[in-house]
Amino acid sequence: MELIKIHDKTFEPYISAQQLEEINARMAAEVYQDLGESRPVFVAVLNGSFMFAADFVRHYKGECEISFVKMSSYEGTQSTGKVHELIGLSSSVEGRDVVILEDIVDTGNTLEEIYRIFKDKKVKSFRIATLFFKPDAYKKDFKIDYVGKPIPNRFIVGYGLDFDEVGRNLPQVYQLNTSITMTNLVLFGKPGAGKGTQAAFLKDKYNLVHISTGDIFRFNIKNETKLGKLAQSYIEKGDLVPDEVTIQMLQEEVEKNPNAEGFLFDGFPRTIAQAEALDAFLSSKGMRIHGTLALEADDEVLIKRIVERGKVSGRADDQDEEKIKNRFVEYNEKTAPLIAYYKAQGKYHAVDGIGTVEEITVRLSKAIDQIKAE
């Protein structure tokens, strides 16, 4: 596989020049089928669409005109969320069939600006044709009439698309390669094992995005998101929140960080079904779990820790030893199958969870370094 480096990022081949040719031919045929009797005006959005626009009109069989507008909304590999029109239309499109040629639609911010520009142009018809579309990132309700290829929410470069103005001239499309540096980990541990404390250290040391199911639930419920309201409806009835709701929340967190160098999953998965769903989701993104870390400690030691913690927090369930032991039993019952699941994949790493915070961090770091070296 041919890897290329642009600035400080590594990219891998994603869509070949031949595939791009086939996509352009198909899209041009679709538009011609709808507008072949008229002479449409194609409006290409610069700079990213210049290659797409040139190849698209080359494949278009009918009469047409082409014009350009120039906008910007990217800085580096992240969308700024702000769109600036730099160059406007120089000729009237009143009474004409207009087709916007976009290189990529992700959040929809640029699309929103395009709709605003053409709102009062009195065009006969208005259509959007985009070479690439990121459905996971799209936040708007504007209609997209022609899509060349839906893609995951990964950063791509080439064939007109750039990374800080470099890479536009590449004849094929490359995607950001995170497999070289990305490390995705699952952190296990009984109540009182210190997962939260260690996660705070590890996410900073290895530049990981920490995804805690507890934090995700609290955020969604507090902010009354669609998933939060759904979860709350189960909680109010005294029912367990279904796996699919939890998994959707987790997926949203992953998709918010398309350029992360890795994820640290804390409190998830808790069942084989969840582990399989996580593997399937990550696989769809070209990612995987690299290793699981299990903080192991004697129950009696953990009970003492939790009781002491309960004296400070005032939580009654942290001061009742019988309830604590019941939580351990539940943990063991749920986690035992997961241990076997990840051992079968060669991804299970037990770490001694007894000692000072610093000593345990050193042990976890040694295990992670070993995982990264594999």
- 132 assigned ligand-binding residue: no
Active-site residue among 70, 140, 270, 304? 270
Active-site residue among 124, 285, 309, 334? 309
- 154 assigned ligand-binding residue: no
- 81 assigned ligand-binding residue: no
User: What residues contact 183, with CB distance under 8 A and at least 6 apart?
Assistant: 206, 208, 261, 262, 290, 291, 368, 371, 372
Give the tokens for residue 71: 């906008």
Active site residue 315: yes
- 245 assigned ligand-binding residue: no
- 218 assigned ligand-binding residue: yes
Spatial separation of the C-alpha atoms in residues 338 and 330, rounded to whole Å:
13
Which residues on neighbouring strands pair with residue 291, listed in sequence order? 185
- 239 assigned ligand-binding residue: yes
Active-site residue among 149, 327, 334, 372? 327
DSSP string spanning 39-74?
-PEEEEEETTTHHHHHHHHHH--S--EEEEEEEEEE
- 189 assigned ligand-binding residue: no
Active-site residue among 315, 323, 325, 366? 315
Active site residue 96: no
- 268 assigned ligand-binding residue: yes
- 316 assigned ligand-binding residue: no
Active-site residue among 9, 190, 195, 203? 195
User: CA-CA distances (angstroms) from residue 243 to 206, 233, 249, 271?
Assistant: 29, 14, 10, 9
Cis peptide preceding 269, ω within 30 of 0: yes
- 240 assigned ligand-binding residue: yes
- 168 assigned ligand-binding residue: no
Active site residue 143: no
Spatial separation of the C-alpha atoms in residues 123 and 97, rounded to whole Å:
6
Q: How many Cβ atoms sit within 10 Å of the Cβ of residue 314?
A: 8
CA neighbor of 240 nearest in space, from 266, 271, 215, 210: 271
- 123 assigned ligand-binding residue: no
Where do we find the tokens 């969840």? Answer: 274
Q: Which residues are catalytic?
A: 195, 270, 309, 315, 327
Annotated binding site: 192-197, 213, 218, 239-241, 267-270, 274, 309, 315, 327, 355
Question: Where is the binding site for AMP, in residues?
Answer: 213, 218, 239-241, 267-270, 274, 315, 327
Q: Which residues fall in the annotated binding site for ATP?
A: 192-197, 309, 355
